[in-house]
Amino acid sequence: MKLSEIARALDLRAVAGAARLETDVTGGYASDLLSCAMAGAGKGNVWVTLQGHLNVVAVASLNELAAVIVTEGKPVSADTASKAEEEGVVLLQTPLSTYQVIGRLWDLGVK
């Protein structure tokens, strides 16, 4: 499944990396702990979290994630969005809760 399909289905807003929405998604991971995401999220996964700061970009880049979905309408600073663009990280944002996003991703077939 492509990120663009997920973004459309969940009505996600691209904060950074909109040009990379045709990336393939290999699975999903959810955690608000950076160390857990570093250990558990795999290459090509979408990471669902309510964290929207610079360190999220570092983890996403390190793990070669397809995207980070920032939930609950949490703000993403301009510095974070800029760094994500620079690092090639897709940041998506939604007012939905992490629980809601995970359920919808599962329904879409993202396991």
The pLDDT profile of the chain, 111 residues, written as one tens digit per residue, is 999 999 999 999 999 999 999 999 999 999 999 999 999 999 999 999 999 999 999 999 999 999 999 999 999 999 999 999 999 999 999 999 999 999 999 999 999
Assign domain 3-108 to a CATH class.
Answer: alpha beta
Q: Report long-range pairs for 56-65 (Cβ below 8 Å, ≥24 apart).
A: 56/80, 56/91, 57/83, 57/84, 57/87, 57/89, 57/91, 59/34, 60/84, 60/87, 60/89, 61/87, 61/88, 61/89, 62/38, 63/37, 63/38, 65/41, 65/89
Is the whole-model pTM more than 0.95? Answer: yes
Query: Domain locations in the chain?
Result: 3-108
